[in-house]
Amino acid sequence: MENIFKKLLPRRGGSGLGIEITQDQITVAQLVRRAGQQYDLKHLVSAPTPSGAVVEGRVEDTAAVSAILQDLFQSNNIKAKQVATAIPTREAVIRLIPLPADLQAAELREVVLNQEAELYLPFPRNEAYVDYQPLEEVVDPDGVRRQEVLLTAAPRSIVESYIQAIEQADLTPQVVDISSFALIRAVRSKLLEFSPEEALALVVIQAEATELSILVKGIPRFTRTIPIGTWEFKETLSRALDLPPGQAASLLQSLTPPLSSQSKGNTDDQSFSGRGQAALRRILTELTEEIQRSLDFYLSQGEVAPLSQLLLAGPGATMNQMDQYLSQRLNLPATRLDPVSILALPDNIAVAEEIRPSIGTVLGLGLRNL
């Protein structure tokens, strides 16, 4: 399959179908182009991922995942067959590399795919899908013109596990993307509101991890995976309150991250609610400290664009006051991303406010084939 990783911009077409497969949920979205850059959301459906079907970013039980997909398509009368899907960002290598500006297209391809790629891959080159996107020319500190190239790669075994699951559902995977790239595509018009001299911190709080990307002009300049997500939130609550995981998940939606003006209460409060808040405070403190370390590392890399905003997405972004909490702790304005509003999707399908920050990736995948 050529060009397994595609450009960030959509291509023209009439209908686009995206499938996001994560460790906790399988989501399908179908978008239809109306006119120009206007879209309708024709389908948005999801189902829990079978236990053990997706492990550490790989589809281990392709039959179980394909069965869920077949049921979603049949029960919702989804007719399209050509789809786009994505692997988790943490399973991909994403690097910006500077190359001589005078390389012709064929030379650039040879250098990137057959020379430079091996320098950045933690796995054998012949076991990886590798793609690249030429970006703009820059002038380095020594005054030399360089061609920046965005290099992306992923292990074949990871990519092919998603392909197999989709093909077993009698669907045709046209594109395997990277989840953060799909999200960026969905919220691109929001990113264009910021100056090219500003850096944005895209924080995606997923079930199993938090993905951090520093974006300048919509391009990832730095990425990092923090192994703390909503599953860790739930496990922390479960241990602190001696609750089964299901009850901890429900409780998580009712708890609110404490803002500085609210955190002066009794830290020794041993009530049920007090213990829950204390547990949540501990895990969120750990998460924000890791985010801060990442931001500090980015800012320490010489002449870089200053950070101006936190953009929040993923299931964890839907928690009460999460945007205010991270804004206070990290001293940056924070905004929950709402891809439904950003894409100006009409309300023919009601999409609850509380899930909107978590569906950007699947909408971006739907856009991919439009």
CB burial readout 190-207, b (16+ within 10 A) else e: bbeebeeebbbbbbbbbb
Q: Are 208 and 290 found together in one domain?
A: yes
Q: What is the mean pLDDT of each run of 10 residues along the chain (370 residues)?
A: 44 77 96 86 96 94 98 95 96 92 91 90 92 87 86 96 97 95 95 94 95 95 94 86 75 74 54 78 94 96 92 92 94 96 89 92 92
User: What is the side-by-side strand order in the sheet with 199-205?
Assistant: 219-226, 210-216, 199-205, 307-313, 334-336
Q: Are 357 and 264 found together in one domain?
A: no
Q: Are 198 and 214 found together in one domain?
A: yes
Q: Are 109 and 76 found together in one domain?
A: no
* Residue 282: both structure tokens together: 């501990």
Domain boundary among the residues 154, 171, 198 is at 154
Q: Which domain holds residue 161?
A: 1-95+155-187+339-370
Q: Are 225 and 88 found together in one domain?
A: no
CB atoms closer than 10 angstroms to residue 279: 20
Q: Are 142 and 163 found together in one domain?
A: no
CB atoms closer than 10 angstroms to residue 233: 25
Q: Are 263 and 175 found together in one domain?
A: no
User: What is the side-by-side strand order in the sheet with 15-21?
Assistant: 39-48, 25-33, 15-21, 82-87, 172-178
Q: Are 248 and 292 found together in one domain?
A: yes
Q: Are 163 and 63 found together in one domain?
A: yes
CATH code of the domain covering residue 320 = 3.30.420.40
DSSP string spanning 21-69? E-SSEEEEEEEEE-STT-EEEEEEEEEEPPTTSEETTEES-HHHHHHHH
* Residue 194: both structure tokens together: 């910021």
What total of structural domains would you count in the chain?
3
Q: What whole-number distance in Å separates Cα of residue 165 and Cα of residue 184?
A: 25
Span between the terminal Cα atoms of the chain, in Å: 20
Inter-residue contact 5 to 178 (CB < 8 Å): yes
Residue 4 per-residue DSSP state: S
Q: Are 35 and 182 found together in one domain?
A: yes
Q: Are 176 and 77 found together in one domain?
A: yes
CATH code of the domain covering residue 126 = 3.30.1490.300
Q: What whole-number distance in Å separates Cα of residue 76 and Cα of residue 21?
A: 18
Q: What whole-number distance in Å separates Cα of residue 168 and Cα of residue 64?
A: 10
At residue 226, the 3 state secondary structure works out as strand
Q: Are 117 and 202 found together in one domain?
A: no
